[in-house]
Amino acid sequence: MATNIYFGTNRKISGGANPEIGEDFHPNLDELRFGKVSFAGKDLYKKDLDSFINSGKIALAPERLDKADADKSKLGSRAIFDEVRAEMLKKGDALIFVHGYDHTFREAAGRAVQLQQWLAAGGKDMTLLLFTWPSAGAGVGVRTYHDDRKRAETSGLALGRAILKATDFIRNTPRSERCDGRIHLMCHSMGNWALRGAVQAMRTFVGNNIPPLFDEVILAAADEDDDTLQAGHKIAPLLRGSRRLTVYYNHQDLALKASDYAMGNPDRLGRSGPRGDAGLPGKVSVVNVAPKVTWEAKGANAWSADPTGHQYYRNNARVRQDIVQVLQGKLDEDFVTEKQRRKNDFGDYWRLQ
């Protein structure tokens, strides 16, 4: 049985019946195309990306715009959102995922299907929607980092449009046809930089009235400033659009250490947690994963190796357990009662046990 990953993208698309999606921007920076990638096989999260990503079958949703009569237009977003709604009627919740630095389109889709199957194996089988921005996928280095960072920031225009489109779709769906599943958002690494751009882009249309689309928002290993949840010109306005927001951070994250020091950035949210703990609303939960991150694994568990301490969101079983329970709506105090978390060594944050 195939696993479908639905996507929205501002990448440039080429080809006809067999489309390929590249690493460049669409000529219109906020342009969006929608589609899905279908992957055969299970336990793909235990496999190397290169072993399966080229087997994913891309289907681009057809789109035809009628400039004279908008009601006659055929929108790819509507077609994909209809498919998502149908799948949510069976599965319940959906997760929107925004990937990080250094991902081609196929690599991003592969990470998304790994995440979907990884969460399902942990007890939370959800419909997965991928927003994939045009990361160059050109390897790791100072030049490529700064290039991807600018690409992520610029892609906020398209991501913001996608969120507002999804909101409008739900509002315009008759009550009798809604699935009533919850919608969650997860951003990893530099995907959080794209999220900042999306929040600010949405503010140009709705001011600070960010639509309350999201139930749970998860910022994992965020390559974002540590004051972003306290700054109106960064991600803070998103708090209005979510029921709860959870930050996962690891002070041993070598990738974010490089971002912090080598790239000249301020302290990173995903390495230090939020700046201080004063001023954060009660809906924000901050979790230190450092005690449970797998640095090196061998044998049958080699797929969980994480030498940089940056990929735990998708391959560390203990972190997965916590994420799944957050997505199921478990409360912070229940984690403490069941001895899965305790207060951090400093600050009013949590620490995985």
Could you tell me the pLDDT band of residue 302, with boundaries at 50, 70 and 90?
A: low
Could you tell me the pLDDT band of residue 62, with boundaries at 50, 70 and 90?
A: confident
pLDDT at site 27: 81
Measure the CA dihedral 295/349/208/150, to 10°: -30
Could you tell me the pLDDT band of residue 265, with boundaries at 50, 70 and 90?
A: confident
pLDDT tens for 266-277 read: 899 999 999 876
Task: Name the more confident of 265 and 296.
Answer: 265
What is the chain's mean pLDDT, rounded?
A: 89
Both structure tokens of 344: 């951090």
Q: Please, what CATH class does the domain formed by 3-352 belong to? A: alpha beta
pTM of the model: 0.93
Could you tell me the pLDDT band of residue 170, with boundaries at 50, 70 and 90?
A: very high
pLDDT at site 352: 93
* pLDDT exceeds 90 at position 5: yes
pLDDT at site 55: 95
Q: Average pLDDT for residues 21-31, to the nearest whole number?
A: 84
Nearest to 304 by CA among 123, 41, 46: 46
* DSSP β-bridge partners for residue 219: 187, 247
Could you tell me the pLDDT band of residue 278, with boundaries at 50, 70 and 90?
A: low
* pLDDT exceeds 60 at position 296: no
Could you tell me the pLDDT band of residue 314, with boundaries at 50, 70 and 90?
A: confident
Distance of alpha carbon 266 from alpha carbon 234, whole angstroms? 14
Angstrom distances, CA of residue 90 to CA of 87, 95, 123, 181: 5, 14, 15, 10
**Per-domain boundaries in the chain:** 3-352
Could you tell me the pLDDT band of residue 74, with boundaries at 50, 70 and 90?
A: confident
* pLDDT exceeds 60 at position 300: no
For tokens 């005690």, the residue is 291
Question: What is the CA angle 52-55-56, rounded to 5?
Answer: 100
Lowest mean pLDDT among 225-229, 329-333, 345-349: 345-349
pLDDT at site 63: 79
Residue 189: strand, helix, or coil? coil
Q: Average pLDDT for residues 210-231, to the nearest whole number?
A: 96
Both structure tokens of 134: 């045009």
